[in-house]
Homo-oligomer: A and B are copies of this chain.
Amino acid sequence: MKLHKIVLSAFCLSATVLTAQTPADYVNPFIGTSNYGATHPGAIAPRGMLSISPFNVAFDTKGIKDPLEKDSRWLSNPYVNENRFLTGFTHVNLSGVGCPELGVIITMPTTGELKTNHLDYGTTYSNEKASAGYYSTHLTKYNVKAEMTASTRAGVSRYHFPKGEANILLNLGLGLTNEQGAMVKIVSPTEVEGMRMVGSFCYNSPELAYPVYFVAKLSKPAMNYGVWHKPETYKGVEAEWMWYNGDVRLKEGFSREVVGDSIGAYFRYKFDKEEIVEVKVGISYVSIANARENLEKEIGVKTFADVYQQTKNEWNKQLHARVEGGTDDQKTIFYTGLYHASIHPNVLNDVNGDYPQSKTNKIGKSNNRYTVFSLWDTYRNYHQLMTLLYPEQQLGMIKSMLDIYDESGWLPKWELNSTETFTMVGDPASIVLADTYLRGLTNFDVEKAFQAMLKGANTLEKNPIRPGVAEYWKLGYLSVDGGVAGPVSTTQEYNIADFAIAQLAKKIGKKSDYERFNKQAYSYRKLFDSQTKLLRPKYSNGKWYEPFNPASGANFEKNVGYIEGNAWQYVYMVTHDVKGMIKMMGGERAFEKQLDHIFDSKQYDMANEPDIAYPYLYNYVRGSEWKTQKRVHDLIEEYFQNKPAGLPGNEDTGVMSAWLIYGMMGFYPVSPAEPIYTFTAPKFNKIILSLDKKYYPNGELIIESNASPENLYIKRILIDGKPYKSYFITHEELKKAKNIRFELDRKPLNTKK
């Protein structure tokens, strides 16, 4: 059975007259819910702390080959589009990440007899609808329509029950996270509070596992309610007397706290006609009291329609680009890209400003604390896009990163809800800080930022950000025998970070720092093997590591030199030194040949970050710029589509979408911490970017073109009416421009002799 997915192109709750489609109307939250995109179709507000997602990754796998089931494989999302068995709606979720985490506080409407085991109460479903801030489906077994919307820290679900017995479950045992343990307390027939342990993202820092608190309020008092608890099954002598060993216990009407790994609350009704029950949930990472306050302040007595309308308005504000021309599908993937790029980093602080600090175990105060910094991913293009489109949000993220430094003593690497998970490698925060400053968002404490960068770069011992940095400074590279994972990749990452530090040092007048870091930024060259024309793992004694198979490491296979990639996918990840690389390769043609080889031999991996800028590197080869346009076009066509499998793989908290958005707009920030962009052919006839006048005095950038399915190649670029000769443009020039006009053609512009 193939379920019918309907994009809500004209969704409206009330009988208002249909007006023109807004950006939010184009969003298809199902994109990325298959092919490991790891997004979910749930209801969420821009950068929301809460989201309500259908949860369909827990089912009986008997007889199913390679099930996309949470415990049967590495599965990082609460929802997989092709799955069929729904066991509730999760209230905290990550979107587009590569590890299982959150996906808890599950509500579920059922009818008839009370069942608390998800394998018993789960159901197929149909008629899924999702838009920005809204999701609904029809639960087959129960004939219940469930719809949900969300504000930043709270959400509302509406369950449309038929006549008869109805149940609302709050399942605190089930979840995507690998953490266990919850507490629940029923406050009244209409209210329940509690917490659920989460944490150890990517199997890192399990000791930092932490609670997420919630308060849930029901619009109708339950006839009966209670808590269920399925304790661990005893073994041995004790078990002989425990006739109830491992059984579920129903604690009817119980109103004191209950804790356990597998617990939940239930609320039962008996309706003599069709009835709607609304469940409003507030969450907090600080306390139950704050979860209640978040719920009261954000939702309170607002109706479902009010909350949805408000969130939709927020989405329209957030998705403020206007595009003309292009197909509906193109508009959909573009706006959905912006939507996906506006989910993480998300708000961490409660409405009262409370948030859990990093490392200190204290509660901090901020009205602008962000979390979910997947920086190894996002330093490459995501934050550049935020700097351009959402400078205030980007500054909030920068300030959050500096607060994390203040709190924990280190800049973040892969931060999640104030825990540092130390996922991936390198020193990506330094790159983001430098890039943001160099692109003109200077309204933060750059001196502190610079000191934080220096600490990460210069601390030779017990450095959680840059392990092996002593050897790196000494040899210029991390050796195979040095004990640091992926020594080639990590050397490259450190180089890019050092380049970033150098650029910032130069900008803020730290001359000697500039010189030191600028020199170090090219040390990766010591790993260049002129024979294979690749970067190769090397021992600390200077000898190459053998055997060397450049292809080894593709498809996330573990290998000696690289992190999530192979020699082909890393060799050109030197965006700060493309010219140096060209020289090492023996000139532009050799460089181009190698690049062609990578694409043509299918070594290019669109689904991961190291080679994400490769398609744009043809712009460094005079006369071959058309290949950038071709490659970008082909990659968009192949990997980015208006369908659940319409992302190349993990969305990576907005990075894949950022790549797409740039590709469709016609420019790309090819070199992190270098405030430049490089051009490709846009996909729309007109793109109007409203920009924040505080940072972009023009307040608007219009990109025009004669884009069409045939017109893939740049013939000429005009900026504010004047022909523009280069395929690169600085951020400053872009900022000054009001109009960029691409004249496109069906044929590549062959400028080679």
> A259 near B: Cβ within 8 Å?
yes
Copies in the complex: 2
- Nearest chain B CB to A579's CB is how many angstroms away? 41
Using known A-B contacts A207-B249, A207-B251, A242-B203, determine if residue A259 contacts B181 with beta carbons closer than 8 Å.
yes
Docked complex Cα distance between A638 and B242 (Å): 35
Say yes or no: is A688 at the interface (Cβ < 8 Å to chain B).
Answer: no
Q: Evaluate contact between A259 and B259: CB separation under 8 angstroms.
A: yes
For residue A257, CB closer than 8 A to chain B, the reply is yes
Partner of A258, one of B197, B249, B255, B286: B197
A148 to B: closest C-beta gap in Å? 27
* B260-A197 in contact (CB<8A): yes
Known: A74-B241, A254-B361, A356-B256. A178 touches B234 (CB 8 A): yes
A244 contacts partner chain B, Cβ-Cβ < 8 Å: yes
The residue in chain B whose Cβ has the minimal distance to the Cβ of A285 is B256
* Interface bits A229-272 vs B (CB < 8 Å: 1, else 0): 10110101110011110010111111111111100000000000
Within the complex, what minimum Cβ distance (angstroms) separates A247 from chain B?
8
Contact between A258 and B211, CB atoms less than 8 A apart? yes
A93 to B250, CA, bound (A): 26
Identify the interface centre among A72, A180, A208, A256: most chain B CB within 10 Å of its CB.
A256
Task: Note all chain B residues with C-beta closer than 8 A to A208.
Answer: 251
Q: Is B206 a contact partner of A260 (Cβ separation < 8 A)?
A: no
Contact A195 B361, beta carbon cutoff 8 Å: no
Q: Does A350 interact with chain B (Cβ within 8 Å)?
A: no
Considering only CB atoms and an 8 Å cut-off, how many residues of chain A contact the other chain?
51
Verify if A694 is at the interface (C-beta below 8 Å from B). Answer: no
Q: Are B257 and A207 in contact (CB under 8 A)?
A: no
The answer to whether B203 touches A257, judged by C-beta atoms less than 8 angstroms apart, is no
CB neighbours of A278 from chain B (8 A): none
The answer on a CB contact under 8 Å between A178 and B232 is no
B211/A257 in contact, CB under 8 A: yes
Q: Are B258 and A261 in contact (CB under 8 A)?
A: no
Given contacts A206-B244, A251-B208, A361-B253, contact A237 B183 (CB under 8 A): no
Q: In the complex, A210→B258 CA distance in Å?
A: 7
Within 8 A of B (CB), among A183-233: 183, 195, 197, 200, 203, 206-211, 229, 231-232
| In contact, A242 and B211 (Cβ under 8 angstroms) | no
State the CA gap A259–B244 with chains docked (Å).
23
Contacts of A209 in B (CB 8 A): 229, 249, 251, 258
Q: Chain B's nearest CB lies how many Å from the CB of A570?
A: 24
Whether B195 lies near A257 (C-beta < 8 A) is: yes
Chain B residues positioned under 8 Å from A732 (CB to CB): none
Contact A180 B231 (CB under 8 A): yes
Report the minimal beta-carbon distance from A102 to chain B, rounded to whole angstroms.
16
Bound form: Cα–Cα A521–B229 in Å: 43
Give the docked Cα–Cα distance between A179 and B255 (Å): 18
Q: A237's contact among B73, B182, B211, B249, by CB below 8 Å, is which?
A: B73
- B residues within 8 A CB of A253? 360-361
**Residues of the B chain whose Cβ atoms lie less than 8 Å from the Cβ of A71:** 236-238
| Interface contact B207-A250, CB-CB below 8 Å | yes
Which residue from chain B places its CB closest to the CB of A225 in the assembled complex? B361
**In the complex, which of the residues B203, B251, B259 contacts A243, with contact meaning CB atoms closer than 8 Å?**
B203
Q: Could you say which of B200, B231, B250, B360 contacts A181, with CB atoms under 8 Å apart?
A: B231
Is the Cβ of A180 less than 8 Å from the Cβ of B232? yes
Q: Which residues on the B side are within 8 Å of A243 (C-beta)?
A: 203
Whether A256 pairs with B211 at a CB distance below 8 angstroms is yes
Measured in the bound complex, the distance between the Cα atoms of B361 and A464 in whole Å is 50
A178 x B242 contact (CB < 8 A): yes
Please measure, in the bound complex, the distance between the C-alpha atom of A229 and the C-alpha atom of B259, giving whole angstroms.
Answer: 14
With a cutoff of 8 Å between Cβ atoms, the chain B residues found around residue A250 in the complex are 207
Is A260 in contact with B229, judged by CB distance below 8 angstroms? Answer: no
Query: Which residues on the B side are within 8 Å of A206 (C-beta)?
Result: 242, 244, 247, 249
Closest to A227 in B: B207
Question: Within 8 Å CB of A256, what residues of B?
Answer: 210-211, 286-287, 356, 361
Nearest B-chain residue to A74, judged by Cβ: B241
> In whole Å, how far is A449's beta carbon from the nearest beta carbon of chain B?
26
- The answer to whether A259 touches B183 (Cβ under 8 A) is yes
| Closest Cβ neighbor of A197 among chain B residues | B259
What per-residue 1/0 map shows which CB atoms of A351-372 lie under 8 Å from chain B? 0000010001110000000000
Residues from chain B with Cβ under 8 Å of A258 in the complex: 181, 197, 209, 211
A361 neighbours in B (Cβ, 8 Å): 253-256
| Complex interface bits, A456-494 against B, C-beta within 8 A gives 1, otherwise 0 | 000000000000000000000000000000000000000
A200 neighbours in B (Cβ, 8 Å): 242, 244
Chain B residues near A210: list those with CB within 8 A. Answer: 254, 256
B232 close to A232 (CB less than 8 A): yes
Which one, B203, B207, B236, B286, contacts A241 given CB within 8 A?
B203
- Residues of chain B within 8 A of A211, CB atoms compared: 256-259
How far is B360's CA from A252's CA once the two chains are assembled, in angstroms? 10
Chain B residues near A73 (CB-CB < 8 A) = 237
Bitwise interface map of A from 64 to 91 toward B, beta carbon under 8 Å scored 1, else 0: 0000000111100000000000000000
| Least Cβ–Cβ distance between A490 and chain B, in angstroms | 20
A260–B181 touching, CB < 8 Å:
yes
Partner of A232, one of B182, B229, B242, B261: B261
| Cα-based distance from A583 to B192 in the complex (angstroms) | 64
Q: With a 10 A CB-CB cut-off, give which of A238, A254, A259, A287 has the most chain B CB atoms.
A: A259
Specify which chain B residues have a CB less than 8 angstroms from the CB of A360 in the assembled complex: 253
Given contact pairs A181-B231, A209-B258, A254-B361, a sample of 12 additional A-B residue pairs in the complex whose CB atoms are under 8 Å apart: A72-B237, A178-B234, A181-B261, A200-B244, A203-B241, A207-B250, A208-B251, A210-B256, A232-B232, A256-B286, A256-B361, A261-B261
**A–B Cβ pairs within 8 angstroms, 18 of them:** A178-B238, A179-B231, A180-B231, A181-B258, A182-B259, A183-B183, A200-B244, A203-B241, A207-B250, A209-B229, A209-B251, A211-B257, A211-B258, A211-B259, A232-B232, A255-B362, A259-B259, A260-B261
Q: Which 9 A-B pairs rank lowest in CB-CB distance, beginning with the nearest?
A: A207-B249, A253-B361, A181-B259, A259-B259, A206-B244, A181-B260, A255-B361, A203-B241, A183-B259
